Amino acid sequence: MFEQIIDKRYKTEIKNIEFLSDYTSQGIFNSKLDPFTKSFLSVEAGNIKSRSELENYIGKAIRLQINYTIRPKWTILNYIFVDKDSQLPEVITSKISIFKFYRYYEEAINAYLKEVTTLTVMRSSIKEIIDDTDSM
């Protein structure tokens, strides 16, 4: 079922870039892509050189958004930290910024990041913030 949803969303997004030839940040920003996809591309993509590379990133963005919709805590932790136990605060700030709904997670995490003075932030700290936010 989820694969069908992903496939349908993917086809819609690919249709939105059917005539796109400008793969720069500005070209993508001006495209008809979904706002979440645009945010994901701005954080993850860097310089896109080809249509196939853009399509690959679009697929990743769609999967991330669907996972976030279903299980936000798991998705935030795995997207930010991948397989690490800690991450730089600026990386966390950048990555959390793409999520446009369940905004309270971003707000709580950013408030915490403004208070800490460490060079890295532990996965367990972000997990605790999300858990605390959920319990409110």
pLDDT of residue 100: 82
Q: Considering its fold, how many domains does the chain have in total? A: 2
Q: What is the model's pTM?
A: 0.88
- Together in a domain, 9 and 54: yes
* Closest alpha carbon to 102 in 75, 62, 80: 75
By mean pLDDT, which of 45-49, 51-55, 93-97, 119-123 is the weakest? 45-49
**Cα 11 from Cα 100, distance rounded (Å):** 22
Neighbours of 37 (CB within 10 A): 25
What CA–CA distance (Å, rounded) separates 116 from 104?
A: 19
Residue ending a domain, choose from 19, 42, 69: 69
pLDDT band at 66 (very low <50, low <70, confident <90, very high): very high
Structural domain span for residue 43: 2-69
pLDDT band for position 25 (cuts 50, 70, 90): confident
Q: Are residues 60 and 83 in the same domain?
A: no
Q: Are residues 62 and 79 in the same domain?
A: no
CA distance 105 to 99: 9
State the Cα–Cα distance between residues 3 and 103, nearest whole angstrom: 26
Contacts 24+ apart (CB under 8 A), 47-52: 48/23, 48/24, 49/23, 50/23, 51/17, 51/20, 51/23
Q: With 0-12 CB in 10 A as exposed, 13-18 as middle and 19+ as buried, what is 40?
A: buried
In this structure, the answer to whether residues 52 and 99 fall within a common structural domain is no
Q: b/e per residue, 87-115, with b = 16+ CB within 10 A?
A: bebeebbebbebbeebeebbebbbebbee
- The candidate with the shortest Cα–Cα distance to 80, out of 62, 98, 66, 101, is 98
Mean pLDDT (the chain) is: 92
